[in-house]
Amino acid sequence: MLEGRSLIEPGDFSLEEMNALFSLAEKIETGKNFLRESCRGRLLASLFFEPSTRTRLSFEAAMLRLGGSCLGFAEPGSSSAAKGESLSDTIRTVSCYADVIVMRNPKEGAALLASRVASVPVINAGDGGHHHPTQTLTDLLTIKRLRGALGGFTIGFCGDLKFGRTVHSLAKTLARYQGIKQIFISPPELTVPNYITKGVLEKEGIPYQEAEKLEDVISSLDVLYMTRVQRERFFNEEDYIRLKDFYVLTREKMEAAKQDMIVLHPLPRVNEIAAEVDADPRAVYFEQARYGMYIRMALLASILGAAPC
Ligand code: NCD
């Protein structure tokens, strides 16, 4: 049962619980009125201390489509955080008004702290370079719907694997499924943290490989997960400028990829995927954004006790 539960990192939910969410999301996608109005009278607070387009708007769209309502802020400058209020005081206050809180914050661990002081469930919408569990649910649902199964494939993560929280959450979660090989493609300065390669993959005996050139491995991939270089997490602008265009996926590079490979990207994209690739049917990142709304509808309805999950 997910009713009343917080979601801080993907490991908080069992594989069975995630599967139940995928089934609900599929029903929402295919049955037009499924769960509509199930959250009437309930309130979602979205507290975004960092910029967001998809995550915040898909959560709000999800709540509105369930018949519920939303309140919150899209940037901390308009909240009392700008006056120096502590995160715990903000969360305690918002707990008095809303039934569920979705929060994004630049500090690793902020969502966990919030869940400890909140009297309502807290959903982590990204805490610094740490985790982004609802993006992971989105990514898994996309792979499941477009490939048919969550297993038996090779995935390549490409770009900023050091600071990219979507990569950290997804790589850790894929290690819980069978028959998945992970290939990490990054410049040496932006490699995936050891706590994932050594701490999770090696410990669990999950096959993985590290590479620097996308061209060297693209032909072996079933899923390519592109990411943006996370400018806001760099200590100096020079390093960002040097690394920002390290990878650019072009039509030419796509020629070497399998015909049924799919390209995912959590978005926003900057330069790492050329616009010409959008027309390739293997580019599914906008579909992925749509799945993000369905899975968030399933999640909100379950956490609020409005769905059988
Ligand atoms: C990502 C994020 O915020 O971590 N975006 C998202 O939520 N879809 C990826 C990013 O900002 O690069």
What is the residue-wise DSSP string for 105-160? Answer: ESSTTHHHHHHHH-SS-EEEEEETTS--HHHHHHHHHHHHHHHS-SSSEEEEEES-
How high is the pLDDT of residue 171? Answer: 98
**20 plus 168 within the same structural domain:** no
**161 plus 270 within the same structural domain:** yes
Report the number of secondary-structure helices (H) and strands (E) in the chain: 12, 9
Q: Which of 123, 265, 267 to mutate to test the pocket of ligand 1 (most atoms within 8 A of CB)?
A: 267
Number of domains in the chain: 2
**217 plus 192 within the same structural domain:** yes
Cα end-to-end span (Å), the chain: 6
- Rounded mean pLDDT of the chain? 96
Q: Which of 104, 135, 240, 295 to mutate to test the pocket of ligand 1 (most atoms within 8 A of CB)?
A: 135
**H/E run at residue 101:** strand 100-105
Residue type at 300 in one-letter notation: L
How high is the pLDDT of residue 301? Answer: 98
pTM: 0.96
Beta bridge partners of 156: 183, 224
**124 plus 40 within the same structural domain:** yes
Arithmetic mean of pLDDT, 66-86: 92
Instruction: Examine residue 59 and state whether it is found in any structural domain, yes or no.
Output: yes
Instruction: Examine residue 1 and state whether it is found in any structural domain, yes or no.
Output: no
Question: Could you tell me which residues come within 8 angstroms of residue 177 by beta carbon, excluding any fewer than 6 positions away?
Answer: 15, 150, 151
Q: Is residue 119 predicted with pLDDT exceeding 70?
A: yes
**159 plus 297 within the same structural domain:** no
Instruction: Examine residue 75 and state whether it is found in any structural domain, yes or no.
Output: yes
Ligand 1 binding pocket includes 132 (Cβ within 6 Å): yes
Residues 79, 90 contacting (CB under 8 angstroms): yes
**194 plus 79 within the same structural domain:** no
Query: CA-CA distance, 64 to 73, in Å (whole number)?
Result: 16
Ligand 1 binding pocket includes 55 (Cβ within 6 Å): yes
In which band, very low, low, confident or very high, does the pLDDT at 78 lie, cut at 50, 70 and 90? confident
How high is the pLDDT of residue 309? Answer: 64
Instruction: Examine residue 5 and state whether it is found in any structural domain, yes or no.
Output: no
Please give the DSSP secondary-structure letter assigned to residue 202.
I
- Which domain does 272 fall in, by range? 133-289
Instruction: Examine residue 308 and state whether it is found in any structural domain, yes or no.
Output: no
> Residues 283-299: pLDDT tens digits?
999 999 999 999 999 99
Instruction: Examine residue 149 and state whether it is found in any structural domain, yes or no.
Output: yes
**55 plus 192 within the same structural domain:** no
**18 plus 144 within the same structural domain:** no
**58 plus 140 within the same structural domain:** no
Instruction: Examine residue 201 and state whether it is found in any structural domain, yes or no.
Output: yes
How high is the pLDDT of residue 59? Answer: 98
**68 plus 195 within the same structural domain:** no
Arithmetic mean of pLDDT, 110-125: 98
Instruction: Examine residue 139 and state whether it is found in any structural domain, yes or no.
Output: yes
**154 plus 263 within the same structural domain:** yes
Domain CATH number, residue 38: 3.40.50.1370
The residue whose C-alpha atom lies closest to atom 12 belonging to ligand 1 is 228
In which band, very low, low, confident or very high, does the pLDDT at 235 lie, cut at 50, 70 and 90? confident
> Residues 19-35: pLDDT tens digits?
999 999 999 999 878 99
**145 plus 232 within the same structural domain:** yes
> Residues 165-223: pLDDT tens digits?
999 999 999 999 999 999 999 999 999 999 999 999 999 999 999 999 999 999 999 99
